[in-house]
Each structure stands twice: as structure tokens, then as C-alpha cells.
């Protein structure tokens, strides 16, 4: 015991990370020999690690023999930024869940699709069973309809032209003119509801949020026997949505 206690470290992983750090320091790329000197790695080890990193997309080899960071790292960076943003608003979603005794949801409109970014639920506040993905159910969910309402007419019609208005429950709106009419005149505007249109026995209410120029929605789901609470819940959602938008708009 004693000196050998502590975490088990994988030397090859440490060397690969040192090499990535060295590559990132050279905007125009650096050859393997220079990277080996800077990281104090044997040249043969440097070549082996670079070959692996290139193969997996973390590093890219230029025509002149230099190495720069690859596209996969850029993807990881973008994902990390998104995770950092969500970590800022997750406590707000958890507080909303606890205050209203409902599951809380956050969605965004990205690359032409309505996608769930976060769900905060608990043993006493279970989430809706997402038996149909939100990508195919925007017309039937409060979260999806909230996003559609905020889109400009061209973007909204583009989305609806690519998604069939599937009949998910007897209450689902499957008529495009009727859906558009209800999007324009929701009774609880700017909130919008799903009254058992996605799942029988469950109602939802959602309001818009923004992350920069990206539109999204914040909503909650609850049993249909709590339908009378929707106006009250709307009043709680609106200030929470403003806090979420502010949190998402901060620069990292």
C-alpha cells in the first residue's frame, strides 16, 4: 500500500493526449519530427500515435506532411459546448420539475428537425413514453407545436412538407389547415398545448425558448386529470423560459 495507491493511468492515452495538445498549438500544422521533439516522445511512438489518430479522424495529415486537428475533434468541441450550455439550465429545469411536480423537457429546432435536448424527471414525475420520436411527432406535441409556431412561414411549411401528420391518438390533429389554424390562435398563447394528442392520458404545455438564433421549447407533461392546472402552469413556465433563454445566450 502507500506509494502505489492512486488511480491507474494508461501511458498510451497520456501520450496521445500530449500529442493532440502539441498538434493544436500549430495552426498551420507541424511535422511528426517537430511534434516528437515538443512532446519528448520517441519518433517511432509519435508516428504510431499519429497514424492511429489520423485513422480515427482526430488528426488530419496535410499534403506537405504536417498534422492538424481533425474534424472529429471539432465535433467533440461543438458537443462539449452544447453540454456546457445545457449544464447551465439543468438546475432551472430541475427546479421547475420540483415546483410543478411534472417532468420537464427542452427541445431545439436543429438541421430541420425538432429534437429533444434534455428531459428532467424523477420517480414521482415520470416522463412521457416517447414511443414515437419527436422528429416525426412535432404536430402532436406541445413542444413540437411551440417550435412550429415560432418558425417563419417558409421554415414551418418546409418542416410540415417533410413530415406526415400521423394519427397517433384519436385526438391527434391530422388536417394541415386545422393544425395551422391552431398554431396561429392557441388559447393560452404564447403557450401551446397537447391535449392527449401524442399519448392518451397525458397533456402537455410548452412555451418558446431561444439559444441564440436557434428556436426551441420548454414544456412539462402531466396526467390528463390535472388539465385544469394548465393556465396556472403556463404562468410558471413563462418566467422560467426567460431564465432558460438567458442562460443559453451567455457566451462560453
Model pLDDT, residue 10 = 79
> What's the DSSP call for residue 128?
P
For residue 145, how many other CB atoms are within 10 A of its CB? 26
Digitized pLDDT (tens) for each residue of the chain, 252 residues in all: 444 555 676 788 889 999 999 998 998 899 999 999 999 999 999 999 999 999 988 899 999 999 998 888 766 665 556 566 667 788 999 999 999 999 999 999 988 999 998 899 988 899 998 877 777 899 999 999 999 999 999 999 999 999 999 999 999 999 999 999 999 999 899 999 999 999 999 999 999 999 888 999 999 999 999 999 999 999 999 999 999 998 887 644
> What's the DSSP call for residue 138?
T
Model pLDDT, residue 251 = 47
For residue 11, how many other CB atoms are within 10 A of its CB? 7
Phi, psi of 232 (to 5 degrees): -65, -45
Amino acid at each position: 500500500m502507500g506509494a502505489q495507491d492512486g488511480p491507474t493511468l494508461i501511458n498510451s492515452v497520456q501520450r496521445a493526449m500530449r500529442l493532440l495538445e502539441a498538434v493544436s498549438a500549430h495552426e498551420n500544422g507541424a511535422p511528426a519530427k517537430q511534434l516528437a521533439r515538443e512532446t519528448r516522445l520517441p519518433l517511432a511512438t509519435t508516428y504510431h500515435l499519429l497514424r492511429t489518430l489520423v485513422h480515427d479522424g482526430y488528426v488530419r495529415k496535410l499534403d506537405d506532411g504536417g498534422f492538424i486537428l481533425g474534424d472529429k475533434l471539432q465535433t467533440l468541441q461543438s458537443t462539449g459546448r452544447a453540454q456546457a450550455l445545457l449544464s447551465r439550465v439543468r438546475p432551472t429545469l430541475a427546479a421547475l420539475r420540483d415546483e410543478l411536480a411534472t417532468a420537464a423537457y427542452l427541445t431545439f429546432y436543429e438541421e430541420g428537425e425538432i429534437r429533444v435536448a434534455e428531459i428532467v424527471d424523477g420517480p414521482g414525475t415520470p416522463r412521457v413514453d416517447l414511443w414515437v420520436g419527436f422528429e416525426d411527432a412535432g404536430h402532436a406535441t406541445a413542444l413540437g407545436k411551440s417550435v412550429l409556431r415560432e418558425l417563419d412561414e417558409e421554415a414551418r411549411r418546409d418542416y410540415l412538407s417533410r413530415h406526415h401528420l400521423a394519427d397517433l391518438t384519436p385526438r391527434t390533429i391530422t388536417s394541415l389547415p386545422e393544425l395551422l389554424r391552431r398554431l396561429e390562435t392557441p388559447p393560452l398563447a404564447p403557450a401551446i398545448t397537447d391535449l392527449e394528442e401524442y399519448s392518451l392520458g397525458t397533456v402537455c404545455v410548452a412555451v418558446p425558448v431561444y439559444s441564440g438564433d436557434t428556436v426551441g421549447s420548454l414544456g412539462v407533461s402531466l396526467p390528463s386529470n390535472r388539465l385544469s392546472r394548465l393556465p396556472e402552469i403556463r404562468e410558471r413556465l413563462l418566467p422560467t423560459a426567460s431564465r432558460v433563454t438567458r442562460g443559453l445566450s451567455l457566451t462560453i
